[in-house]
Chain A
Amino acid sequence: MRNFSGLLINEWLKLSKKKSFFVAYAILAVVFAILAFAFYKLSPDGLNSTVDFATGTIMLQAAGQLVPVLAVLAAAGSVTQEYRYGTIKFLLIRAQSRHKILASKYIVSVLYALTLVVTAAVFAVVAGYIVYGGGAGESTWTDFLSNIASLAVYSIVFVTLTFMIGILTKSNGAAIGIGIFSMMVGSLLVMLLSRYSITKYLLFANTDLSVYRSDAVPVEGMTLAFSIVILLVYMALFLSVSFAVFKKRDIA
């Protein structure tokens, strides 16, 4: 176990020692600062409190969309950068199984995504507080927390997908491209195909769990439990493919 925590520390350092590491957090800070300033100037209707602001901005359809994009950028590099630098040769000739090495990479990619979610949530609350200073509105803290949870689930799903693409293609660009493209086109696709009931089995119909709070489900008859099962099945599939391919692959 001590060994595995060493692997986790290694992966975290590979991310955090990069100069670009803080850029992701800085982008979130800047975006929420701009939003706060805009809301302060325009004071739109229906938003009256810190919680309203935080709940509204953290949504996937708002500033929240940045979080999975930033998480995907990092997840894409986790395996592909080792190929790019050539360090994969040194990484895989240690007394560690390939499964353990890949597991540490995946766990750190997910942890990094979660730090982005938490950071965005903190910025949302702080920005909201500066503009509204508390106040009473429609949204509750439960709404806010449930939006955070949806954002976290959405991010982890796309991190997992991108992670797999990275392993399959060994290309950072391809993984980022496919990861972000599927994020954007996925929801569009679901919208276009929503009248076919088979659409509900698509990954992209189930990635945004926040729909179950507003009852605007993409395809009729879908439930929260159904979506969770579908997501788990897809994640299990992505991870099985990732681990199987990484284990078998010849490093030539």
Chain B
Amino acid sequence: MTTAKITNPSIVLQLDGLTKKIGSKAIVDGLSFDIAKGEVVGLLGPNGAGKTTTMRMIVGLIGMSEGDVRICGQSVRTNFEKAIRHVGGIIENPEFYPYMTGYDNLKQYQRMTEGVTNDRIEEVTKLVGMQEALGKKVKAYSLGMRQRLGIAQALLHEPKLLILDEPTNGLDPAGIKEMREYLKRIAESEGIAILVSSHLLSEIELMCSRVIVIQEGRFVTARSIGETESPKQKVLTISMQVGNAGQAQEVIGQIEGVEVTQADSFTNRITIKLLHDQIPGIVAKLAAQGVAIYRIEEVRATLEEEFMKLTGGNRIA
């Protein structure tokens, strides 16, 4: 059963019925999914859904009760050292020995993994833009600098998989943006797979190519971001700002296959559902009837709305 999947070389991370039980309560319950090379995947779920437990089981910080995690085909359970060799991680806040310099901290991790050269230290330092601060003691670092040093240590041994648990925790908006750009650049330049959990949904939306939603330790759904579904058959929701909403509603109401879901004569906004191909016709008709059009916008369900729908709101577990 396992060998069949291992033969697929592009699978970097593979969860197979991963379960964590504390007492009789399953915190993570039979979770299975794969991540391929170069993918950036977000792990979503309400508080207490088991995101952190899942990520800590992947890197071996928490023991698994059942199932297994394979990284590049190596089992974390039975072959930990070989499996973890391919993983870099930041689990919650990046923490370092505060009384040592950034460089000394990186040297610590260099000594722990075979084949990490001094050139590699220099390379990752440059990648995260920390050349200047590397000689300073970590206790003098800002959170943003520690975050960058955290990325540097995670990349040091050229991992094939990055595990990031709430990597933007405690960062200000500028720090978050910076972090996101680093991660995107890294995924491209180093060609590695990234699994990231965050409670900032917009963050995940901007960073990931796929999200996996879990709730109460169970897999709920997976979906791609930036869908490839043919736009021609898709029913779109369009919001228009017009000169006169009442008139516009009358005009549009006569067209077949177009549904007016909302018309507000105070703001003169009208919301309609229709197919991609019908938009030019509507615009032409409205213009011909003398209805002024100020704006046409697509209304998209955000990941947040979808997330709420899937998990039934963010219940505190």
- Given A10-B112, A89-B61, A94-B84 in contact, is the A252-B56 Cβ separation under 8 Å? yes
Question: Which of B87-95, B196-204, B214-222, B273-281 makes up part of the contact surface?
Answer: B87-95
A94 contacts B109, C-beta separation under 8 Å: yes
Question: Which of B35-43, B97-105, B237-245, B297-305 makes up part of the contact surface?
Answer: B97-105
A9, B112: Cα distance in complex, Å: 10
A-B interface contact total, Cβ < 8 Å = 80
A85, B96: Cα distance in complex, Å: 7
- Given A17-B97, A97-B81, A252-B56 in contact, is the A89-B92 Cβ separation under 8 Å? yes
Q: Mark B60-83, 1 if CB is under 8 A from A, else 0.
A: 111100000000000000001110
Say yes or no: is A14 at the interface (Cβ < 8 Å to chain B): yes
Interface size class of A (residues with CB under 8 A): 20 to 34
What's the minimum C-beta distance from B145 to chain A, rounded to whole angstroms? 16
Say yes or no: is B111 at the interface (Cβ < 8 Å to chain A): yes
CB-contacts of A12-50 with B (<8 A)? 13-14, 17-19
A17 contacts B109, C-beta separation under 8 Å: no
A18, B104: Cα distance in complex, Å: 12
Partner of B62, one of A2, A85, A87, A252: A252
A9, B107: Cα distance in complex, Å: 10
A9 contacts B99, C-beta separation under 8 Å: no
Say yes or no: is B8 at the interface (Cβ < 8 Å to chain A): no
Q: Mark A78-109, 1 if CB is under 8 A from B, else 0.
A: 00000001110111111111000000000000
B114 contacts A93, C-beta separation under 8 Å: no
What's the minimum C-beta distance from A100 to chain B, rounded to whole angstroms? 9
Q: Mark A138-180, 1 if CB is under 8 A from B, else 0.
A: 0000000000000000000000000000000000000000000
A3 contacts B95, C-beta separation under 8 Å: no
B111 contacts A95, C-beta separation under 8 Å: no
A86, B95: Cα distance in complex, Å: 6
A62 contacts across to B, CB distance below 8 A: none
What's the minimum C-beta distance from A2 to chain B, rounded to whole angstroms? 8
A95 contacts B95, C-beta separation under 8 Å: no
Chain A minimum-CB-distance residue to B94: A90
- Given A96-B81, A250-B62 in contact, is the A85-B109 Cβ separation under 8 Å? no
Say yes or no: is B47 at the interface (Cβ < 8 Å to chain A): no
Say yes or no: is A6 at the interface (Cβ < 8 Å to chain B): yes
What's the minimum C-beta distance from B21 to chain A, rounded to whole angstroms? 12
What's the minimum C-beta distance from A80 to chain B, rounded to whole angstroms? 14
Chain A minimum-CB-distance residue to B82: A95
A2, B80: Cα distance in complex, Å: 19
Chain A minimum-CB-distance residue to B81: A95
Partner of B112, one of A7, A248, A250: A7
Partner of B113, one of A19, A87, A95: A95
Say yes or no: is A251 at the interface (Cβ < 8 Å to chain B): yes
What's the minimum C-beta distance from B155 to chain A, rounded to whole angstroms? 13
Say yes or no: is B153 at the interface (Cβ < 8 Å to chain A): yes
Chain B minimum-CB-distance residue to A248: B63
Say yes or no: is B108 at the interface (Cβ < 8 Å to chain A): yes
Q: Mark A193-213, 1 if CB is under 8 A from B, else 0.
A: 000000000000000000000
A19, B137: Cα distance in complex, Å: 12
- Given A89-B95, A93-B61 in contact, is the A7-B104 Cβ separation under 8 Å? no
Chain B minimum-CB-distance residue to A101: B112
B108 contacts across to A, CB distance below 8 A: 10, 13-14
What's the minimum C-beta distance from B62 to chain A, rounded to whole angstroms? 4
Say yes or no: is B120 at the interface (Cβ < 8 Å to chain A): no
- Given A6-B111, A13-B104, A13-B108 in contact, is the A92-B61 Cβ separation under 8 Å? yes
- Given A17-B104, A251-B62 in contact, is the A94-B112 Cβ separation under 8 Å? yes
A93 contacts B91, C-beta separation under 8 Å: yes
B104 contacts across to A, CB distance below 8 A: 13, 17
A9, B109: Cα distance in complex, Å: 11
What's the minimum C-beta distance from B98 to chain A, rounded to whole angstroms? 7
**29 A-B pairs whose Cβ atoms sit less than 8 Å apart in the complex:** A2-B114, A3-B112, A6-B112, A13-B108, A17-B99, A17-B100, A17-B104, A18-B99, A85-B98, A86-B95, A87-B95, A90-B89, A90-B95, A90-B96, A93-B59, A93-B61, A95-B81, A95-B84, A95-B85, A95-B112, A95-B114, A95-B157, A96-B112, A97-B80, A250-B56, A250-B62, A251-B62, A252-B56, A252-B61
List the 4 closest A-B pairs by CB distance, nearest first: A86-B95, A6-B111, A251-B61, A94-B112
